[in-house]
Amino acid sequence: MNATLVGIVEAAVESASVGEIFGMRHGVQGLLKEDLLDLRRQPPTILSRLRDTPSAALGSSRMKVTDEDLARMLEILRAHDVRHFLYIGGEGSATVVHRLSRAARDARYELRAVAVPKTIDNDVVETDHCPGYPSVARWLALAVREAGLDTEAIGVVDTVKVIETMGRDTGWIAAGTALAREREGEAPHLIYLPERAFDQDRLLADISRVHRERGHVVVVVSEGLKDSRGVYLAASERAVDRDPVGRPQLGGTAQAVCDIIASQLGLKARFDKPGTIQRVSAMMASPVDRDEAYRAGVAGVKAAVDGQTDVMVSITRQAGREYRSTMTLVSLSQVVGRVRAVPPEYIGDAGNDVTPAFAGYLAPLLGGPLPAYPRLADVRVPRKLTTG
């Protein structure tokens, strides 16, 4: 998020078509309150460091924008003579840009509105991937690699480890943990995505099989797992836990899976749930991701000053052996109201893992190999005594 912001600010500073540069505090919530930050007058040293800073320096928001909100937003933009509007985020943010662009057109106000994608969920359509996703995938792949070594070491006591990832409607984040494997048979042994209905009997059969083969099991589950009726395996029923658009807070899927394993198979199962910490690690950020996020911000400014509106910056993967990408534009009418699920060709037939095609898609985005860990050579000492 911050790398994209820096790309926008630096490109805007260099453009002769841009005057003042304002940042909305907490997104459109800040715009509606006219809570704006002067970005042109930020000390240069802050911007240079901000590019590698986690989270979102301007803050973020999630709100349901009404027609009245759109009118108020246009009123404030008019008051400040804002002619270029860039908004960073996922499909919800893209929808705001789409609606604002059309409201400006209907009001005969000249406004170039551009969406710049950023979501760890990787569920925005019409782009190869979204900035943010490669970094959360890298972070989790390493976390699962290390959790696998830990589980292997203590598997005689703690037999099953269940790791829960974020991902409400799609399994891109959970799928990314497959890149943890250095060798065949290593963790994660099983991966379950929301794209396939959760089947308890299938889960138990999978766990039993891997336990027989290896003596320990590492399972990755997405928080958004649902059964065949579309009911979440774990979701808060408290009204206070619903987000501004009415969706329940998810979390607890790993605990539910552990309870099933313990009660039905009699195996001890523990879980790890990284939570929001998985999306804010600057230390493990993918350099490819950081670079593309910055370039996406620059491309957004170029699109706006060139007169483009009602469009989103899109990352296009170039053909060739070496990974390369370019920034293109796509109409927001092709983006809003759609969710990009993990495609069938990336999900194994049994629904408990991903395919090599998915690994080929993600690997170049991680920005280099994960730390490799050695194993002791299996050189046994001959026995001196026979066992009774």
Please, which residues bridge with residue 220 across strands?
Answer: 163, 191
The residues annotated as belonging to the active site are 121
Q: Tokens at residue 208, please?
A: 């039993």
The neighbour count for residue 197, using CB atoms within 10 Å, is 13
Q: What are phi and psi of 162, to 5 degrees?
A: -110, 125
The 3-state secondary structure of the chain reads: CHHHHHHHHHHHHHCCCCCCCEEECCCHHHHHCCCEEECCCCCHHHHHHHCCCCCCCCCCCCCCCCHHHHHHHHHHHHHCCCCEEEEEECHHHHHHHHHHHHHHHHCCCCCEEEEEECCCCCCCCCCCCCCCHHHHHHHHHHHHHHHHHHHHHHCCCCCEEEEEECCCCCCHHHHHHHHHCCCCCCCCCEEECCCCCCCHHHHHHHHHHHHHHHCCEEEEEECCCECCCCCECCECCCHHHCCCCCCCCECCHHHHHHHHHHHHHCCCEEEECCHHHHHCCCCCCCHHHHHHHHHHHHHHHHHHHCCCCCEEEEEEECCCCCCCEEEEEEEHHHCCCCCCCCCHHHECCCCCCECHHHHHHHHHHHCCCCCCCCCCCCCCCCCCCCCC
